Structure 1
Amino acid sequence: MSTQMIFDYVIVGAGSAGCVLANRLSAEEQNRVCLLEAGPKDRSPLISIPVGIGELLPGTRYNLHHHTTPQKHLNDRKLFWPRGRTLGGSSSINAMVYIRGNSDDYDAWEAEGNPGWGWKGLLPYFLMSEGNERGTDAHHSGYGPLSVSDLKWKTRSGHAFLRAAESLGHRPNNDFNGSQQNGVGFYQVTQRRGRRCSAATAYLHPVSSRSNLHVRTNSQVARIILRGEKATGVELLDGTKILANKEVILSAGAIQSPQLLMLSGIGDQDQLRKSGVTSQAHLPGVGKNLQDHLDIIQVVEASEAVSFSEALWPKLLTAMRLPELIFLNKGPLTSNVAEAGGFASSSLAGGNPDIQFHMTAVPTFQHGFNKRTCYGYSLHACALRPKSRGEITLDSTDPRKLPRIEPNYLSEPEDLQVMVEAFEMAQDILAQEELSRYKKKSLRPEQKLSDRESIIHYIRQHAESIYHPIGTCRMGSDELAVVDSELKVHGVDGLRVVDASIMPTLISGNTNAPVIAIAEKAAELIMQRSSRSFVKENRHTQEVE
């Protein structure tokens, strides 16, 4: 006989959005909240020590390894898509870069028929979440739960990247979330006292003792329980039923949220029938509109110790500086590795940058699976606003099986043009004296690529995801929209989706901070509260502390 538990709200997924919702909804004592996470607790020091990212990405304990279908425009390669599988989700394994994107990204959402989701509507929620060590000003907040800080340690290769880029005319920018996005600089990161500040650290752990909040790890959801047109709860793999008196909220991410909807009979009825699933609600947009940032990397072996190395002795020397982290909250162990970067515009950009750089202080091959025992650095360049669209579909009705991921990268010719220009910009930066003085040899590509065809061939052979999938439960009011502007699933009562899957279009930057802001706004929509009340409470709490 299966176990049954009853709550007011059941949240599926303890990632960036789920942790925010668990905190905000359980702040009302009368709300009984259950947060379900398929992965284990986030207890590993590799999570809290920022430089541990190098082991988290190729690891499997806290990272669910997805792969795309063979990509037609990328030489039929299957691309690696890692997703966090622990408390904090992908915010527990990411590079901690704090970026909001461009204000026009959100205004475009609102223009598509999503009232309240423009920049003016979302900025209060970015401020509500942000606790920036630089303090409060017109663009930032110093009192939110998500700690944002300047890097405590920077490599020589990072500084050299900035000088090289500036020598080519890229403007210096010490705040990509301020009045101007263009330019190059060191990223601010989601860290607190030199440690990772994941969504779990910021939102979940401080309230874990609340009697009305029940957190279950290692609890994978098999399906949503529907009674007619209403979601009444979820069923776990072991048969346990978790019922919701008020709402079921999917925060499982851009891959798992549409998968769960489809496994529960919510999706395109023809596709569901072919997969062997009985249709409960015909929503043809579920799984469609998939978008991601495609990234091209150039890798250099350094002649000096200007970066990190995977060789045994340099790694031991870095590890021996643990007391510097513990007692002084600084040192190389605080590095997010992807420390510097910036934004630039291709010839197709229009008014806003459409290219982003990440300078990583390590020679990066195959997402960290292939370790090179040399000092080196890698310059990533990605196209920020791709026109190509893909989809998530079921490969199996077994919830233990991963869904089919078809990003359809570079299916639109403009995306390839932006990628070519991004590669050329990055190659020019690497060639400048400020960086080339440290170059021992080029590892990838092995020589300068001068013509368009060779660059295109390189992109098709080596481009990879930079891990920003969105859009598969798109917000809107048309026939392919999955949720409305309150993130309620069309045609199903008592069910919302709150995560990156609701984004209509991909934002111009890293996606973690926007997901947290989306969840902050969603919490208000659910409780029908005003952002001003939250802001006042947070400011008061900060002053008391």
Structure 2
Amino acid sequence: MSKGYDFIIIGGGSAGSVLAGRLSEDPSVEVLLLEAGGSDRHPFYHLPAGFAKMTKGIGSWGWDTVPQKHMANKVFRYTQAKVIGGGSAINAQIYTRGNPQDYDDWRQMGCDGWGYDDVLPYFRKAEDNQTWENHYHGKGGPLGVSEPRAPLPICEAYFEAAAELGIPRNHDINGEKQDGVCYYQLTQRNVRRSSAAMAYVTPNRNRPNLTVKLGAQVRRLVVEKGRATGVELADGTRLAAKSEVLLCSGAVGSPRLLQLSGIGPADHLSELGIDVVHDQPQIGANLQDHLDLYCISELSGPYSYDRYAKPHWAAVAGLQYLFGRKGPVASSLFETGGFWYADPDARSPDIQFHLGLGTGIEHGVAAMPQGGVTLNSCYLRPRSRGTVRLQSADPAKAPLIDPNYLADPLDREMSIRGLKLTQEILAQGPLKKYILAERLPGPEVKTDQEYFDFICVHSKTSHHCAGTCRMGPDAAAVVDTRLRFNGIEGLRVVDNSIMPTVISSNTNAAAIMIGEKAADMIKEDNMMG
């Protein structure tokens, strides 16, 4: 093996970037960060509105799901980041943490140290919050968190419309209560995206003990006598890890690499001709994701950002951003939303909204010729569970991603209720002066069967996949509550795949928290300075 490092981090996404920044704080340890994707130099990665380009290809692996058998075999584009910063470099920058009860549920499942009071200090530690400094929020951390700079008048009308249905305005959905409609806080600093890479890696690139390799695809983990000792890259290079190998490739990438390394369900690996290094049936199981539905209304005037898709307006938008840090380029386009109930008896909000200030923003979503708005809803606590498996032993082949959407009838019922609620909000009086007509689902969709048929055509992923390397106190769990791999020493998994249950919101802030908490545990377990 060539040069050794103390820690090899596989995956420069949200959690991996945090680990690189935090572990390299100790000058006595050598840290290597391997990212299969490229650099984030392209301006789309830094402009807030660049998100609109992301689900359509730039910076992603271009993977799809398998046909969804409970949704008329619909195939979903499943955007997985292929760039330093991972999901935090290509997402809509929405900063939400989930509901406190999500983490208390983990603790009740036996995940000691992961209750809300345990994780809150790590959310605060990460934050440099422009607005709040209190029990819930911190200033001075690496990650920029700020208020939207470019809301439109229709956003306020949306808040008034929600109020007509008894849904209150909430100025901090990461504070005491999650309930209500809001402007989301965003992972931005100075109206530029604050990705995990920009927050934790870029400022520390000059540290002599931190090495960052881009375009470095790991072919497999090297395991010797029950211990992870390093990695083998696609070109055959081997790199040694003296202390630990830290797998941070996300809820799809982490189980995929484990299986390519012969670690996973033995029967599945044997069928593909992969030598079984460690039989662990739970790897790649327990996949959870939020299915996103949407209601699209055409507007009666230029009240959204749609007109800026035309070249001359795009030039205007560029100038607005350049000289005033405002206008559509300053908007993530989905920075208004909130949390409410499909089931009035739910323990906390079970539906999340995202108000898109335009149409056709994401891959596969219809665009309105005269301009419009898109109100997304997703059911936050799905019971359906899917899998990530390999289609072959060839690492160049895409994995078989099966979120198994709507396998559970309750998920189907609650998702449809959420969609109906978005229609109700958009139909309220305060939005009448802006909205010409609802176009999707439209008035002809009436019965639950018609709604179901509609969502089998019009829906997408929320990009909130989790759970495929589940943490737990039990022997069947993939990792223990310190994220150490059960059955192989010197290996940890640190990303959203460790979530036992997906949190009730966007997942990027949680990935950064998991990275922060893991960094402390790794330092403790290795007695670093």
* TM-score range normalised by the length of the shorter chain: over 0.9
2:41 matches 1:43:
yes
Q: Which amino acid aligns with 2:148?
A: L
Deviations 1:253-300 (A, max 9, x none): 000100110111111111111121111111111000000001111111
Say how many residue pairs are matched: 528
Letter in 2 for 1:288: A
Please, which of 382, 391, 397 is the counterpart of residue 393 of structure 2? 397
1:119-518 paired onto structure 2 within 5 Å: 119-309=116-306, 313=310, 315-347=311-343, 349-364=345-360, 367=363, 372-447=368-443, 449-518=445-514
Which amino acid is 2:316 matched to? M
Query: Is residue 50–residue 196 contact of structure 1 (8 Å, CA) maintained in 2?
Result: yes
* 3-state SS of paired residue (1:4): coil
Equivalent residues in 2 for 1:84-103, closer than 5 Å = 84-103=81-100
State the secondary structure of the residue aligned to 2:62.
strand
Q: Distance in 2 between matches of 1:34 and 1:418?
A: 44
Deviation of 1:65 after TM superposition, in Å, equals 1.7
Displacement of 1:372 in angstroms is 4.8
In structure 1, list runs of 5 or more residues that go unmatched.
535-545
What is the distance in 2 between the residues matched to 1:379 and 1:54?
Answer: 16
Q: Aligned partners of 1:436 and 1:72: how far apart in 2?
A: 39
1:59 deviation in Å?
2.1
Shift of 1:447: 2.3
Deviates more, 1:428-437 or 1:377-386: 428-437
Residue 108 (1) aligns with residue 135 (2):
no
TM-score normalised by L of structure 1: 0.93
Q: Which runs of 5+ in 2 are unaligned?
A: none
Deviations 1:202-244 (A, max 9, x none): 1110101101000000111100011120101111111111210
Matches within 5 A, 1:504-543: 504-528=500-524
Q: More deviation in 244-253 or 321-330?
A: 321-330
**Code of the aligned partner of 1:219:** A
Q: Could you tell which deviates more after superposition, 71-80 or 447-456?
A: 447-456
Q: Secondary structure at the match of 2:80?
A: strand
Query: Per the alignment, do residues 345 and 312 of structure 1 end up closer, same or farther by CA in structure 2, a change over 3 Å counting?
Result: closer
- Deviation for aligned residue 1:169: 1.1
Q: Within 1, Cα distance between the matches of 2:463 and 2:315? A: 28
| % identical aligned pairs | 41
Q: Secondary structure at the match of 1:472?
A: coil
Letter in 2 for 1:65: G
Range that drifts further, 367-376 or 176-185: 367-376
Question: What is the CA deviation profile of residues 408-449 of structure 1, one whole-angstrom value per residue up to 9, with x for unaligned ones?
Answer: 111111111111210111110111122233223333223253
Residue equivalent to 1:539: none
Q: Do 1:184 and 1:341's aligned partners in 2 also have CA atoms closer than 8 Å?
A: yes
CA separation in 1, counterparts of 2:269 and 2:425?
Answer: 49
Matched position secondary structure for 1:501: helix
CA distance in 1, matches of 2:149, 2:133: 20
- The separation in 2 between residues aligned to 1:170 and 1:318, in whole angstroms, is 35
Matched residue SS, 1:475: coil
Q: Secondary structure at the match of 1:528?
A: helix
Cα offset for 1:308? 1.2
Q: CA deviation at 1:370?
A: 5.9
Cα drift, residue 302 of structure 1: 1.2
User: Is 1:80 aligned with 2:77?
Assistant: yes
Report which stretch shifted further, 489-498 or 163-172: 163-172
Question: Structure 1's 125 and 360: CA in aligned 2 closer, same or farther, altered over 3 A?
Answer: same
CA distance 1:365–1:95, shift in 2 (3 Å):
closer
**Residue 369 of structure 1, CA deviation:** 7.1
Indicate how the Cα distance of structure 1 residues 155 and 448 shifts in structure 2: closer, same or farther if over 3 A, else same: farther
Aligned equivalents of 2:313 and 2:308: distance in 1? 10
Q: Is the 8 A contact 2:365 2:458 kept in 1?
A: no
Query: For residues 55 and 345 of structure 2, what CA distance do their matches in structure 1 show?
Result: 31
Task: Quote the offset at 1:162 in angstroms.
Answer: 1.4
- Aligned counterpart, 1:538: none
- The answer on whether the counterparts of 2:55 and 2:362 sit within 8 Å (CA) in structure 1 is no
Contact 1:158 1:339 in 2 (8 A): no
Q: Distance in 1 between matches of 2:361 and 2:441?
A: 12
1:5 — aligned with what? 3
- Quick check: 1:284–1:479 contact (8 Å CA) kept in 2? no
CA deviation vs aligned residue, 1:388-415 (integer Å, no higher than 9, x gap): 1011111111111111011111111111
Correspondence for 1:19 among 4, 17, 21: 17
Opposite residue 119 of structure 2, the aligned amino acid is: L
Letter in 2 for 1:511: T
Q: For 1:29 and 1:372, how far apart are their aligned partners in 2?
A: 55
- Contact 2:308–2:317, Cα closer than 8 Å, also in 1: no
Q: Secondary structure at the match of 1:139?
A: coil
In structure 2, the CA distance between the partners of 1:63 and 1:13, relative to structure 1 (3 Å rule), is: same
More moved, 345-354 vs 255-264: 345-354
Q: CA deviation at 1:159?
A: 2.2
| 1:285-325 Cα deviation digits (max 9, x unpaired) | 10000000011111112121111116654x53343343543
**1: CA distance, partners of 2:277 / 2:269:** 10
Which residue identity lines up with residue 13 of structure 1 in the other structure?
G
- Between stretches 498-507 and 349-358, larger displacement belongs to 349-358
Contact 1:129–1:517 (8 Å) recurs in 2 = yes
Pair 1:467–1:229, CA change in 2 (3 A): same
Distance 1:458 1:369 in 2: 13
